[in-house]
Amino acid sequence: MFAEEKPALLELPIEPFRFYQFGERAVHLDGCVEVEAAYYGAPPGWIGRRVKVQWISAACGCSIPAPANCCASTCASSAATIASRIRIDPPCAALHQQLLARCEKAGSHIGALCQLMYREQGVVAIRRIQGILSLARKHGTALTGDGCAAALEIGVRENPYRFVRRWLERRPQLTLRQVDPIIRQLTLYRDLIDNKTQENPT
């Protein structure tokens, strides 16, 4: 039977059969979904929605089913390309302003740095701004504000979030010191106690 079928058989394709992976992702404040550390633009106005995605590791593709039974396929791209492709509609812009308002409440330096990031990087900065707020929850607003002040003073532009994170990780540990002249040395108190003890032995 094989001998009869052999003349009609075709050569195997060079490219192997594609195996898709499927999952569900949330559309974040920057208008993107994350698939295996890559970001893909979703249609405008989809922030907060959960969408079903499918991707192929070889092609780094992602499909987002839309309500009109169509698919918006995207490919892995850099943050700059994502920023140029995504259109921010008014509801999304309002959410971004709410996020920046939270940064202002956290501290003046935190708010100033996050505003600068948003002005210069646009929607790409949203994840980094969220990272700054996360650092403030972890390390406190005072220390995070000091890190943001350092970034502003130095003029960090490429990735201020990374600078602040490393600044907080490498900051020197605080040690207690007597630096005010009105604070007496502990040895004086020790000598006073010794003298009083000798004057009034029990």
Average pLDDT estimate for 92-98: 79
Query: Is residue 186 scored above 60 in pLDDT?
Result: yes
Residue 129: partners with Cβ closer than 8 Å, 6 or more residues away: 99, 100, 103, 114, 117, 118, 161
Q: Which range of residues forms the domain containing residue 140?
A: 90-170
| In a shared domain, residues 76 and 98 | no
Give me the number of domains the chain comprises: 2
- Reported as a single tens digit per residue, the pLDDT across 37-76 is 677 777 777 788 888 887 776 554 555 554 433 344 444 4
What pTM was estimated for this model as a whole? Answer: 0.54
* CATH number of residue 53's parent domain: 2.40.50
- Reported as a single tens digit per residue, the pLDDT across 125-180 is 888 999 999 999 999 999 999 999 999 998 988 889 999 999 998 876 555 555 56
| In a shared domain, residues 97 and 137 | yes
| In a shared domain, residues 105 and 147 | yes
Of the candidate ranges 33-42, 86-95, 182-191, the one whose mean pLDDT is the lowest: 86-95
The Cα-based distances of 15 to 20, 55, 73, 159 in angstroms read: 14, 17, 21, 39
CB 25 within 8 A of CB 72: no
Query: Is residue 192 scored above 50 in pLDDT?
Result: yes
In a domain, 194, yes or no: no
pLDDT the model gives residue 46 = 79
In a domain, 35, yes or no: yes
pLDDT the model gives residue 173 = 58
pLDDT the model gives residue 40 = 75
